Amino acid sequence: MVDNHSADHDTECLRVLGEALNHLSGGFADLPSTQSAENPDALSEILNNVAERMRDNFPYQHPFYLGQMLKPPHPVASLAYALAMAINPNNHAMDGGRASSQMEKEAVRQIARMVGWESALGHLCGGGTIANLEALWVAREVNQHAPVFASSQAHYTHERCCQLLGVPFHSVPCDNSGRMDVQRLEEMLDGSSQATIVVTLGTTGLGVVDPLDQVLELRDRVPCRIHVDAAYGGYFRLAKNLEPATKRQFSLMQEADSIVIDPHKHGLQPYGCGCVLFRDPAVARVYKHDSPYTYFTSDDLHLGEISFECSRPGASAVALWATLQRFPLTVDGEFAQGLESSRTAATLLSDWIDQSPDFVRIVDPELDIVVWSVAADSAKESSMLAERFFHEAAKRNVHLAMLQVPKALAEVARPDLKWDRDTLVCLRACLMKPEHQEWLPRILEVLDSCRRDLFQDRSH
Ligand SMILES: *Cc1c(COP(=O)(O)O)cnc(C)c1O
């Protein structure tokens, strides 16, 4: 069992939380006291049962876990969330969550500033799916039900959102590296000037960045609405060690009409924290409603008037606000350095793959995701060996993911393969944790031992 767990650290965190809870309850000291009838000791058995059940998980919190996109929340986020739960505010409206609504506005403003917007409209929501749905809904309303175009590597949520919205969806082919092929997009648009283009900055599978610069040039010729899905990659705008072409796409984000960034992906937040931003605050008109249930004490446009969801956890906003106090979104700050070290970890893993005769990399890692395949004669054999490698590494506590890469994409990296199936099972690592760089030598040691044990008898 991997042991990174420090009970002392947990105890210290709970002490800090206890102090803050006391401070918070002091604000309500003039109310008659209410004693909870619940005996905490009686909950112990249930909580231990929960702990037992939760041991079933992969160790998402540990640097040895590099499979799916899971990054643990920072303690400041978890503690602030727990603190807010003493109140359980609802950010649907000012009256349900006063301070937390204000904190949401402040936190969202900081994310908007990070992408270069001073007066954007935006708010938090349940996650990238809802955030993208909202952006595509607003696009539908201001863009006369125009069709949506997204690359074949875009998140599948876009196609599903379009089904919900009753808007036509078109999948645009990718180039050899998994980026949207903008020439093909232009052919598909065929001069029609009503379209919404989804540009993904950091695709979920391969972690590659669509050419926003080319889509912006296209917009000069063929007017269209541009939505940037940066649910995963958005914060990389702060990283200094990207390739120049990648950096360029992030530096152009402010030219889009709407942007989605998930604080619960790379922003150190518990799940349930997405963010949608609109460059033109006037799109607030799309949300307009006259609910008799909403509140009238705030002069300001309250969050319930500019968000699709109604009840939302104020605790999410509190956690994000607290995290931004600890990690301001600055180019040279500690948070940006964490992203840079993730990126460095990805290039180190990529170098290791390139040096190994047993592996073939699929694309150049652009952010912190690496996808690679196993050397073999056929796609079937390569896929089978990737699966074996995945299980062997998991046995030794290093957790990768498997990804089905379509033949059209994998073929470029693997012209050597006999293609006896339509997809290639590849190995994938998300090096999202800031400590992944420091841990990489130990991770590579484990991967190397798997490689030797599984592949030593093969001739190349
Ligand atoms: C994760 C992701 C989504 C979906 O977001 P959820 O928070 O999982 O709902 C959408 N787009 C991209 C690019 C993503 O990485």
Closest CA to 68 of 374, 403, 347: 403
Contact 369, 206 (CB under 8 A): yes
Domain boundaries for CATH 3.90.1150.170 within the chain = 334-455
What does the pLDDT read at residue 287?
85
CATH 3.40.640.10 domain locations along the chain: 98-291+298-326
The residue nearest atom 10 of ligand 1, judged by CA position, is 128
pLDDT at 191 over 90: no
3-state DSSP call for residue 239? coil
Residues flanking ligand 1, CB < 6 Å: 127-129, 132, 155, 157, 200, 204, 229, 231-232, 262, 265, 274
Provide the CA 91 distance to its chain's centre, in angstroms: 22
Read off the pLDDT band of 5 (50, 70, 90).
low
How much is the average pLDDT of 408-416?
A: 91
- Name the nearest CA neighbour of 204 among 72, 69, 364: 69
What phi, psi does 372 have (nearest 5°)?
A: -145, 165
Checking if the pLDDT of 26 tops 70, the result is yes
In 66-99, which positions are buried (b, 16+ CB within 10 angstroms) versus exposed (e)? bbebbbebbbbbbbbbbbbeebebbbbbbbbbbe
Residue 84 has pLDDT above 70, yes or no: yes
Confidence (pLDDT) at 460: 55
Could you read off the pLDDT of 215-255 as tens digits, one per residue? 999 999 999 999 999 999 999 999 999 999 999 999 999 99
Structure confidence at residue 420 (pLDDT): 96
CA distance 252 to 234: 12
- Residue 59 pLDDT greater than 60, yes or no: yes
Q: Which of 69, 151, 204 to probe ligand 1 with, by most ligand atoms within 8 A of CB?
A: 204
Question: What is the atom index within ligand 1 of the atom nearest the CA of 127?
Answer: 7
Ligand 1 centroid to Cα of residue 262, in Å, is 7
Backbone phi, then psi, for 326, in 5-degree steps? -75, -35
Closest Cα to atom 6 of ligand 1: 128
231 CA → ligand 1 middle, Å: 5
pLDDT at 424: 97
C-beta separation of 156 from 128 below 8 A: no
Dist. CA 407 → ligand 1 center (Å) = 24
At 36 the pLDDT is 78
**CA-proximal residue: ligand 1, atom 4 (nearest):** 128
Question: Which of 124, 129, 369, when mutated, tests ligand 1's pocket best, judged by the most ligand atoms within 8 Å of its CB?
Answer: 129
Of 46, 138, 87, 77, the C-alpha closest to 317 is 77
Proportion of the chain in helix, strand, coil states, percent, rounded to 5 = 45, 15, 40
Indicate if the pLDDT at residue 2 is higher than 50: no
The string of pLDDT tens digits covering residues 288-306 is: 765 555 444 444 567 877 8
Distance CA(261)–CA(314), nearest Å, equals: 18
pLDDT at 158 over 50: yes
Find the 313 Cα to ligand 1 centroid distance in Å: 19
Tokens of 246: 């990648």
Give the Cα separation of 150 and 217 in Å (integer). 17
**Is residue 3 very low, low, confident or very high in pLDDT (cuts 50, 70, 90)?**
very low
CA 261 / ligand 1 centre spacing (Å): 9
> In this prediction, what percent of the chain has a pLDDT beyond 90?
86
Q: Are 318 and 273 in contact (CB under 8 A)?
A: no
Counting DSSP H helices and E strands in the chain, the numbers are 14, 11
Confidence of residue 39 (pLDDT cuts 50, 70, 90): confident
Distance 304 CA to ligand 1 centre (A): 23
Nearest CA among 185, 186, 128, 195 for reference residue 152? 185
In this predicted structure, what is the pLDDT of residue 291?
A: 55
At 17, is the secondary structure helix, strand, or coil? helix
CB count in 10 Å sphere of residue 49: 10
Name residue 156's amino acid: Y
| pTM of structure | 0.95
What b/e string do you get for 146-172 counting C-beta neighbours within 10 Å, with b at 16 or more?
bbbbbbebbbebbeebbeebebebeeb
If you take atom 3 of ligand 1, which residue's CA is the nearest one? 128
CATH topology of domain 98-291+298-326: Aspartate Aminotransferase; domain 2 (3.40.640)
Q: Which residues contact 381 (CB under 8 A, 6 or more apart)?
A: none
Ligand 1 centre to CA of 342 (Å) is: 19
Chain mean pLDDT for the chain: 94
Question: How would you class 357 by CB atoms within 10 Å of its CB: exposed for 0-12, middle for 13-18, buried for 19 or more?
Answer: exposed
Q: Which atom of ligand 1 is nearest to the CA of 129?
A: 9
- The amino acid that residue 117 corresponds to is W
Q: Looking at the CA of residue 130, tell me the nearest atom of ligand 1.
A: 9
- Which phi and psi (to 5°) does residue 185 adopt? -60, -45
Instruction: With a cut of 90, say whether residue 381 has pLDDT above it.
Output: yes
Give the residue from 369, 386, 378 showing the smallest Cα distance to 426.
Answer: 386
Domain 334-455 CATH (choose: 3.90.110.10, 3.90.1150.170, 3.40.50.970, 3.40.50.300): 3.90.1150.170
d(C-alpha 109, C-alpha 395), whole Å: 44
- Most ligand 1 atoms within 8 A of CB, residue of 155, 158, 201 to mutate: 155
E-assigned strand segments in 244-398: 258-261, 274-278, 359-361, 369-374
308, amino acid identity: F
